[in-house]
Every structure is written in structure tokens, then in C-alpha cells.
Amino acid sequence: MATPTGSTETPKGNAEVVQKHYNAIQEKGLDHRNRSRIVYMRNFNNWIKGMLIDEYLTVIKEKRKGEPVRVIDMCCGKGGDLLKWSRGDVNHAILVDIADQSVADAQKRYSEMKAKTPRLFSAEFLVADVTRTSIRALMKDPTMKVDLVSCQFSLHYSFESLPQAEKMLENVSASLKKGGYFIGTVPNAYDIVGRKRLFKKNWFGNTVFTITFDESLDEPYSLFGAKYNFHLHEVLDCPEYLVHFPTLERLAERYGFKVVKKKRFQNYYEDMKRKGQTLLHNMSALETYPPVHGVRLLGHHTEYPHAKEYFDE
């Protein structure tokens, strides 16, 4: 295990705000998380990530037949997916994030796991802005290629500008083996804009979350830098950017990617709920199901298990 490797660059633009924000979030432990108002939403999001990671690790293992599996956890945060890498039996993981404090927390979590399970996968921890720095130069072995890059709930930060989105995709593409996979989860820009139109204001939300658009920003939104502020109870208060998915797809093509799957959470949930029912139950991600009052207006959200935290006001 290495000490987190830092890029010497100071993050520019809103990356600095994002970095400061995530660094300031304290690790409050499982007990606190379980008592939080957004526990079911967190658990549901975690279940989605768990199923997605499991799905693609399975595909990779079938393809690679016994070869070591290596992954990059891009924008790893505090290492919330370490257990998923352990359950998925990977051989090596590279965790990278812009927030040094989060990376230190991830590294601590890994050390605790390793103390209990000495045969745990090997790992390295990097501090870097993946939208501005070439992460390969920071890796222990810059020639190493991985089978999977996972970027969960983070890719939207790269849509601050075109060069940043390009750099992020270049980082992924340069690190992946041929035939490797890039998986991720992002807020749905169509839903966000749809709700803004519905409420006819530059903000919407409830006591759990608020999305606020800059007064100066109006439709048609630019493909990059379409900034809104996302406030989530006890967790986030941070600038984020709309990700126009067709633009992401076209950009990704330029870096050698072919889209193999894209799904809304609620559709992915429908596809995977049978397979993942034990995990879903164990994580108590479904306490708020069935659908709740107030969601009917938002049609496609009625089947969204964590809708309660968003809409039941």
C-alpha cells in the first residue's frame, strides 16, 4: 500500500470548491449513517452500484478466465466501494480522488480491512484531479492497464468544461485494456431540467435536497458548464454540472468507447431486483417502497424506491 500520491497542481475553477467541500465531510461512522434521514436513499444508491459492479466484474471474469482482475475506482470518495471490490474478488484496485482527506479515509478503511483479511486485494491510493491530471503518471506502474474503471456519482464534475470532460475520458481510455469496461452513475440531466420547468423557478427541492440554478443560466443550456448547486441533507452542498448524455456518448466514442448499456435507475432496478433481492433486503433499501404520495406528477419516478426522500413532503 502506498502513501497517497498527490499531484502538485492546485485544483482550478470549481474543482477547488468541490475538493474543499468533500474534504470537509467527516466520516461519522455506520451508526450515524443508519440514523440519517437519507439512509434508504443511500442504501438504494449503494445497491445500484453493487449490482453494476458485480455485473461487469462477472463479464470480465468470464472473458479473462482466471487472469488477475485490476480496477480503477475513479473519484473513490472515502472508499465506500472497497467492500464491493473485496466481494468481487479483484486482485488490484487503484483508488483516486481530488479530496486528499477522503483518500486518507479510504486508505484507513482499506488498512482496517486488510488487518482482518490479509489476502485482500492490493491497492494504491492517489490524490488527483482526474479532469486535469494524467493519473497514469502517478500510478506505481504507469504501464499497467486495468479491466474496469468505475466512476460512481462523480462523472458530472468533469462537465464543468469540454477540456475537463476530455481529460477525464482520456484518463479512463488510457488506463483500460482493450475490451475493458467503463461504468458509472450520474444524475439525470433530463429529470433535473424537467423538474425545473415543472416548478417554473430556478430552484426546486424539499427539506432533504435542493437544486438551485444560477439566475444567469437559462435555456438552452450549454453542453458544458451548465452549473447548478446541489444541496443534500447532511451530505452535500456543492456545484455540479448537467451531463447531456448524447454529448457524453459522442465524446466517449472519440476515446474508443462503444456504449453497451445505459439505463435509468428505476429501469435498472426493475431488471436487477430479482437477482439482487437478498442484497436489497439486507441493505434495507426498500423501506420506502411502494411508491409514495406526490410522485404521480413525475410519472417515471413512481417506481423509484428512494422517491420518498425526494418527494414525500
Lay out the site mask for ligand SAM across 79-118 (x = CB under 6 A, - = otherwise): -x----------------xxx--x----------------
Separation CA 132–CA 288 (nearest Å): 40
From 59-67, 124-132, 202-210, 265-273, span contacting ligand SAM (CB under 6 A):
124-132
Of 180 and 184, which has the nearer Cβ to ligand SAM? 184
Separation CA 241–CA 208 (nearest Å): 20
Report the interhelical angle of 100-116 vs 14-24 (nearest 10°): 40
Q: Is 53 in the site for ligand SAM (CB under 6 A)?
A: no
Check residue 71 and report its DSSP letter: E
Least CB distance to ligand SAM at residue 302 (A):
25
Residues 1-30 binding ligand SAM (CB under 6 A) are 15, 18, 22
Of 97 and 124, which has the nearer Cβ to ligand SAM? 97
| Of the candidate residues 124, 129, 147, 240, the single one contacting ligand SAM (CB under 6 A) | 129
- Cβ atoms of 189 and 159 within 8 Å: the answer is no
Of 102 and 288, which has the nearer Cβ to ligand SAM? 102
57 burial via Cβ count (<10 Å: 0-12, 13-18, 19+)? buried
Q: Which residues pair with 149 in a beta bridge?
A: 72, 182
Residue 274 has a CB neighbour count (10 Å cut-off) of: 8
| Of the candidate residues 40, 110, 121, 153, the single one contacting ligand SAM (CB under 6 A) | 153
From 57-65, 152-160, 249-257, 288-296, span contacting ligand SAM (CB under 6 A):
152-160
Of 18 and 183, which has the nearer Cβ to ligand SAM? 18
- Cβ atoms of 127 and 107 within 8 Å: the answer is no
Task: Tell me: cis bond preceding 290? Omega within 30 of 0 counts.
Answer: yes
Distances (CA, A) of 193 to 76, 110, 155: 27, 38, 18
Widest pairwise Cα distance in the chain? 56
Helix (H) or strand (E) holding 205: strand 203-205
From 61-69, 125-133, 199-207, 226-234, span contacting ligand SAM (CB under 6 A):
125-133
Start-to-end CA span in the chain (Å): 46
Q: Is 241 in the site for ligand SAM (CB under 6 A)?
A: no
Q: Is 152 in the site for ligand SAM (CB under 6 A)?
A: yes
Of 4 and 77, which has the nearer Cβ to ligand SAM? 77
Least CB distance to ligand SAM at residue 80 (A):
4
Least CB distance to ligand SAM at residue 281 (A):
21
Of 64 and 233, which has the nearer Cβ to ligand SAM? 233
Q: Is 75 in the site for ligand SAM (CB under 6 A)?
A: yes
User: Residue 259: which of 193, 169, 189, 188 has the closest Cα?
Assistant: 169
- Cβ atoms of 114 and 1 within 8 Å: the answer is yes
Residues that bind ligand SAM (CB under 6 A): 15, 18, 22, 75-77, 80, 97-99, 102, 129-131, 152-154, 157
